[in-house]
Chain A
Amino acid sequence: MSDQETKTKEYRRPMPADWWLKKRTYSLFMVRELTCVFVGGYSLILLILASRIGDQESVTAMLNSKTLSVLQLIALPMVIYHTVTWLNLTPKVLVLWRGEERVNPLLIAAVHYVAWIGVSIVILCVVFAYG
């Protein structure tokens, strides 16, 4: 009888909490997913900045805070990792055809990388021109 009981029980595949440490690809997947914490964290910093937007002294103090700079510098490589993984996926999302021929996936990714660099330079130029 006990045999039958176990047979009818739903099987739950065990998932140890450290599954993502067991293979390099799993770990990289987890790093990619965890970049969201840094993306969200930076938005939170900007939200706090926005809450003081009418008070120049407060905004200046925040922009010159060493602690905040360090936190953002820790976030920077993680956010760049997000950018790289995101842009590397663009050929999978965007499958283009020119007649019978599929547009080279590398070209699609490359166009996005160039756009990323271009947009970054334009924003820096605008802010430098102003500041």
Chain B
Amino acid sequence: MARSNEPIWWSLFSAGGVVAAFFVPVTIVITAIAVPVGWISDEKLYFLLQQPLARLYLFVLISLPLFHWAHRFRYVVADLGLRGGGRLPAIVCYGSAILGTVLAGCFLAFG
């Protein structure tokens, strides 16, 4: 049987799905409602974001959901009739998620 990378991508997809399900809605409420409305001061949120734990939280919320997107989007594109292109859609999708992860790591570790 040919070896496949599928289990790796599927695991990351699944982990990203869990993170997105549990943490993204409440984080959107914070960044899109609570801060602009003034329930949370942007200054204090900024200082919270300087904490290592908050940065780790941001990193997880960037990286894993990107892999979730990559895996689902790759198949949704095919489901919508855009077939062909060989391995290109997969390379673009997973490549973007890897790039996003590396960038997020650099920004949050050194920024």
Does A108 interact with chain B (Cβ within 8 Å)?
no
Q: Are the CB atoms of A79 and B45 closer together than 8 Å? A: no
Does B12 interact with chain A (Cβ within 8 Å)?
no
Q: How large is the interface on A (under 10, 10 to 19, 20 to 34, 35 or more residues)?
A: 35 or more
Whole-angstrom distance between the Cβ of A85 and the nearest chain B Cβ: 9
Complex alpha-carbon distance, A119 and B23, angstroms: 8
Q: Which residue of B23, B24, B40, B69 contacts A131 across the interface (Cβ within 8 Å)?
A: B40
User: Known contacts A51-B107, A60-B46; is A72 also within 8 Å of B28 by CB?
Assistant: yes
Complex alpha-carbon distance, A52 and B76, angstroms: 32
Q: Are the CB atoms of A119 and B36 closer together than 8 Å? A: no
Q: Is the interface of B mostly helix, strand, loop or mixed?
A: helix
Q: Which of B18, B32, B63, B108 has the most CB of A within 10 A?
A: B32
Q: How large is the interface on B (under 10, 10 to 19, 20 to 34, 35 or more residues)?
A: 35 or more
Does B91 interact with chain A (Cβ within 8 Å)?
no
Quick one: which of A23-47 are within 8 Å of B by CB? Answer: 30, 33-34, 36-37, 39-40, 42-47
Whole-angstrom distance between the Cβ of B80 and the nearest chain A Cβ: 7
B50 nearest in chain A by CB position:
A53
Complex alpha-carbon distance, A42 and B76, angstroms: 18
Q: Are the CB atoms of A42 and B40 closer together than 8 Å? A: no
Q: Are the CB atoms of B108 and A50 closer together than 8 Å? A: yes
Q: Is the interface of A mostly helix, strand, loop or mixed?
A: helix
Q: Are the CB atoms of B21 and A86 closer together than 8 Å? A: yes
Q: Are the CB atoms of A50 and B17 closer together than 8 Å? A: no
Q: Which residue of A33, A42, A80 contacts B65 across the interface (Cβ within 8 Å)?
A: A42
User: Known contacts A33-B75, A36-B72, A80-B25; is A127 also within 8 Å of B34 by CB?
Assistant: yes
Q: Which residue of A34, A72, A116, A127 contacts B76 across the interface (Cβ within 8 Å)?
A: A34
User: Known contacts A59-B46, A82-B21, A123-B23; is A43 also within 8 Å of B79 by CB?
Assistant: no
Closest 7 pairs (CB-CB, A-B): A40-B69, A131-B40, A72-B32, A36-B72, A120-B26, A17-B81, A131-B44
